[in-house]
Amino acid sequence: MNAGFYRAFEDRYRGSRETITQRLQAYLPFLEPLKALYADCPVLDLGCGRGEWLELMVREGFSPLGVDLDDGMLEACEALKLPANKDDVLSALRKLPDNSQVAVSGFHIAEHLPFAVLQELVAESLRVLRPAGLLILETPNAENVTVGTNNFYLDPTHEQPLPSLLMSFLADYSGFARAKIVRLQEPPEVHDEQAPLGVLNVLFSVSPDYAVVAQKAASPSQLQPFDDMFEAAYGISLDQLAHRYDRAIDRRFAELHNTVETVRATFFEPAEFQRIMAEVQAQQTHQLLVIQDRYQTALNDLQQQFGAVQQERNVALENCHHHFQRAQAVEQQLQAMLASTSWRVSAPLRLIGRVLYWPSRHGKAALRRVAPHARLWVERRPAVKRLVLAALHRSPWLTQQIRRVLATEPVTMASDPQHGVIDHAPLTPRGRSIESALSEAMIKSKH
């Protein structure tokens, strides 16, 4: 954990020094009789933190010493000139001789320790305490739902919640003469038995902290001054609030029942009340029957609609099956035809037919694209041109067909006067642009 993190965490969530000091004063009645038993009153505070308990002990006339491992916490003690050393809690206890302290305290350190370490801490505390000396261990109270399910885990250094009965048993088992569970910090208003009590109070108003105050064995005369503190009740437990809540609910139901009986006795005679109740029951029965009839009618309609839809579905499935069978039959016929000898024999005829049919569908467009180029090619070849003209003169029908395909001016192959090296045979658009450019160049060269 980064240096200073826990100090900053405590400053935000632990509370101010004034608040913590005020809370710690709840333990002073336990410690006050120790002043009469011992003059020096040495007190060891384990995990002293910012030193609120040390400051209170000095003010009350005790001789405290605090130990802590967090440098940020010790800086707060040094700033106030409080007696505090950097040390581990078990190490600090082991250094002390037997019967040397009147009190050993640890506020919110038990939940930071593994249970085995906590056991040793309690045993070592018993060793160093003087007769009638006190061990005070304060820790979060898991009985409070907010604490047990949320606030306890806010501190990343917490190990696990410690039930109060476990801590009390640990003190008894370790050899202390008696131990007292002291619940603390609950809202003051929950002590009012007459105050309204809700479920939120049961969940969140149980004492959020508790301490086990354990006392070392001593003579009866030494223990007698502490009897009142050990016999008193402290704080609010979950059981107490739950029982109070149950009693409050019972009272409310009893009051409501009495109110209903009073109204019935005031406004209705028994016979009249029974008549009204019978009418109400009759109306309710009639309404229930009407609802049942409507429900049955709606159910019958839905069943009829479902039957019709199911019938339509069956018809559709039959049609689909019929068409599927027909498609299978046609496919079988087609496969048989394709595999037949007549189909293979007639393949050349089908090919010739497609070749002859192609010009009628696709030939005109192709001829129109090719015609200008063919005409230009023929015009530039006199021998070919004479053969073409001769063929056209012999076959007027062919001439007519070519005109119909091309849909252009009459087809003539007469030669045009020459202009230099370029004739006037039909040209493509690109040929005409080249011809125009050459003509302009020849005119410019003559000038």
- Residues 46, 129: contact at Cβ < 8 Å? no
Which stretch of 6-20, 102-116, 331-345 has the lowest confidence by average pLDDT? 6-20
The Cα 246–Cα 81 span in angstroms is 52
> Taking the CB of residue 33, how many other CB atoms lie within 10 A of it?
18
Which stretch of 53-67, 128-142, 325-339, 430-444 has the lowest confidence by average pLDDT? 430-444
Q: Which residues contact 292 (CB under 8 A, 6 or more apart)?
A: none
Q: Which spans in 339-412 are helix H?
A: 341-345, 347-358, 364-379, 382-394, 396-406
What is the DSSP secondary structure assignment for residue 153, as one 8-state letter? G
Q: Which spans in 104-232 are helix H?
A: 115-128, 145-149, 164-174, 199-204, 220-223, 227-231
The Cα 128–Cα 14 span in angstroms is 29
Rank 26-35, 252-261, 398-407 by mean pLDDT and report only the highest. 26-35
Q: Which residues contact 143 (CB under 8 A, 6 or more apart)?
A: 164, 206, 207, 210, 237, 238
- Residues 188, 37: contact at Cβ < 8 Å? no
Strand partners, 178: 215
Task: Please give the structure tokens belonging to residue 138.
Answer: 């304060």
What mean pLDDT is predicted for residues 30-38?
96
3-class SS of residue 214? strand
Spacing of C-alpha 158 from chain mean position: 26
* Confidence at residue 405, expressed as pLDDT on a 0 to 100 scale: 63
* Confidence at residue 9, expressed as pLDDT on a 0 to 100 scale: 67
3-class SS of residue 385? helix
What mean pLDDT is predicted for residues 76-96?
95
* Confidence at residue 418, expressed as pLDDT on a 0 to 100 scale: 44
Q: Max alpha carbon distance in the chain (Å)? A: 158
Q: Give domain 3-237's CATH architecture.
A: 3-Layer(aba) Sandwich (3.40)
Name the CA radius of gyration of the chain, rounded. 56
The residue that leads in pLDDT, 446 or 87, is 87
Spans of all domains in the chain: 3-237, 270-316, 325-362
The Cα 189–Cα 235 span in angstroms is 12
Rank 168-182, 257-271, 395-409 by mean pLDDT and report only the highest. 168-182
- pLDDT more than 90, % of the chain: 38
The Cα 57–Cα 134 span in angstroms is 14
Torsion of CA 279, 282, 288, 293, to 10 degrees: -130
Burial class (CB in 10 A: 0-12, 13-18, 19+), 237: buried
With b meaning 16 or more CB within 10 Å and e meaning fewer, what string describes 300-324?
eeeeeeeeeeeeeeeeeeeeeeeee
The Cα 219–Cα 223 span in angstroms is 6
* Confidence at residue 385, expressed as pLDDT on a 0 to 100 scale: 82
Return the amino acid letter for 57: M
What mean pLDDT is predicted for residues 20-25?
92
Return the amino acid letter for 401: Q
pLDDT in tens, 284-342: 888 888 888 887 888 888 888 888 888 888 888 888 888 888 888 888 888 888 888 88
- Residues 143, 237: contact at Cβ < 8 Å? yes
* Confidence at residue 63, expressed as pLDDT on a 0 to 100 scale: 96
Judging by DSSP bridges, how do beta strands 209-215 and 129-140 pair with one another?
A: antiparallel
What mean pLDDT is predicted for residues 226-244?
91
The Cα 419–Cα 441 span in angstroms is 14
Burial class (CB in 10 A: 0-12, 13-18, 19+), 402: middle
The Cα 168–Cα 186 span in angstroms is 20
- Structure pTM? 0.57
pLDDT in tens, 179-233: 999 999 898 888 888 778 888 888 888 999 999 999 999 999 999 999 999 999 9
